Structures are given as structure tokens and as C-alpha cells.
Structure 1
Amino acid sequence: MPAAVGLIQTIGFPSILAAADAMVKGGRVTLVYYDIAEKGEFVVAIRGPISEVKPAMEAGIEAAEKVYGGKLVTHYIVPNPPENVVDVLPFEYTEAVEQWR
């Protein structure tokens, strides 16, 4: 079964940290990607079954919005990403995250 992708982008590191923490606690998901975007924005991505990604994303969005001074920029779920998207974008399970899968 293909793993869905959930992505959250925020302004400020504390809000992305809160989102990532809430997501991995909110569902059976694996954090697969983190990076710094433009203008002090941060992005984090998770993978897992869509039934787990949806509640994890809801928890992450709620947590990011509660952080003082942080701001949720955008969020998105890709329920069934095609292989060519996963191969090109950095959302694949890597050796570094495989132990948490």
C-alpha cells in the first residue's frame, strides 16, 4: 500500500518543531523530510498510511497555530503520490528514517 505524504510549512522554528512533534505523536507516521525554506520559513514532511497521516496532520496544524509568534503558512496531503513524484521529490523513506517506520 502506498504511503501518503503530509507537508506543513511555517514561519519560525518553534512552530515547525511543535508541528513535527504533534504529527509523530498524532499518528503512526514517519518524519521523512525537514528543511529551511525562504524568508525564515520551515517545512516538514511525514509519510504513512492515509488513515494515519490525516489525524497526524490535524494535530500538527493545531500545534503550529498555537505557538506564540509562529505562523502556519500552508499544509497539504498527497494521498497516493505516484512513483515519479516520490523519486524526484525528497519524500522517500531513507536509511536514516527507516528505523522509525
Structure 2
Amino acid sequence: MSKYNALGLIETFGIVFVLEAADAMCKSSDVELVGFENVASGYISVLVQGDVGACKAAVEAGVKAVENMGSEVYSSVVIASPHQDLEKITARYSLENLNP
């Protein structure tokens, strides 16, 4: 996580809405999609990383995209300057850890 200054996360209900959020997040600013996590009972979180401004713009765009589809975002956050130990948690989100 050393080359990134921030993390941006959105949690919403259903794969369709989280895909729309992730698409809007990646198109809105220079962020890298880290991955996603099926949290529980259909709630899914999507995680991006980049600089603080890019993550803020990405989260705002993702929230707006979900709301434009008539759904709600359960939770969203931008963490500026995340502690290096958070990588122990975010590593499980990583798309690189999925089996092909």
C-alpha cells in the first residue's frame, strides 16, 4: 500500500449495484480496483485505492451511480493515509487472490 495514499470503499446490496458502483468509480478518477467482498446476506463491498482526491471522487461517483439506479448505499468511506497494517485486511479483497 506504500504507493497509495488512500482507500475508498462502498457497500451496497447486490452484485448489479456493486458492479455499477465499481464501474463508475474506476471511470471517474485514477484509482485502482483492488477487489470486492461478499459481506453477508447480499451486501457486497468494493474497494479502490489511489490518492486521496481520486478516492474521494471515485466514492462520490460510485454512490451517485447506485442512487441513480434507485438503490441505496449501505456504507461508504475514504481512508486517507491508511496504516500499513490495513493491508492485512485488504489483501483478502484482492482480485489477485481469486482462483482462476
Shared fold, TM over 0.5: yes
User: Following superposition, which runs of at least 4 residues in structure 1 exceed 3 angstroms of deviation?
Assistant: none
Aligned-pair CA distance for 1:3: 2.6
The two structures have a TM-score, normalised by structure 2, of 0.83
Shift in CA distance, 12/28, structure 1 to aligned 2, threshold 3 Å = same
Say whether residues 1:22 and 2:24 are aligned partners. Answer: yes
After TM superposition, list the pairs within 5 Å mapping 1:47-66 onto structure 2: 47-66=49-68
Matched residue type, 2:12: T
Identity rate of aligned residues, in percent? Answer: 29
For residues 68-97 of structure 1, the C-alpha deviation after alignment (integer angstroms, 9 at most, x for no partner) is: 4x33110011011011122x21259x694x
Hey, what's the Cα distance between the residues in 2 that align with 1:27 and 1:41? 24
RMSD: 1.9
Hey, what's the Cα distance between the residues in 1 that align with 2:24 and 2:4? 23
Aligned-pair CA distance for 1:35: 1.5
Hey, what's the Cα distance between the residues in 1 that align with 2:72 and 2:91? 23
The two structures have a TM-score, normalised by structure 1, of 0.82
The unaligned stretches of length 5 or more in structure 2 are none
Report the secondary structure of 1:63's partner residue.
Answer: helix
Which of these residues, 10, 13, 18, is aligned with residue 12 of structure 2? 10
Hey, what's the Cα distance between the residues in 1 that align with 2:22 and 2:95? 19
Matched residue type, 1:82: H
The unaligned stretches of length 5 or more in structure 1 are 97-101
Matched residue type, 1:13: I
Hey, what's the Cα distance between the residues in 2 that align with 1:75 and 1:95? 20
For residues 11-66 of structure 1, the C-alpha deviation after alignment (integer angstroms, 9 at most, x for no partner) is: 11111011000000000000102111111111100000112111111100100112
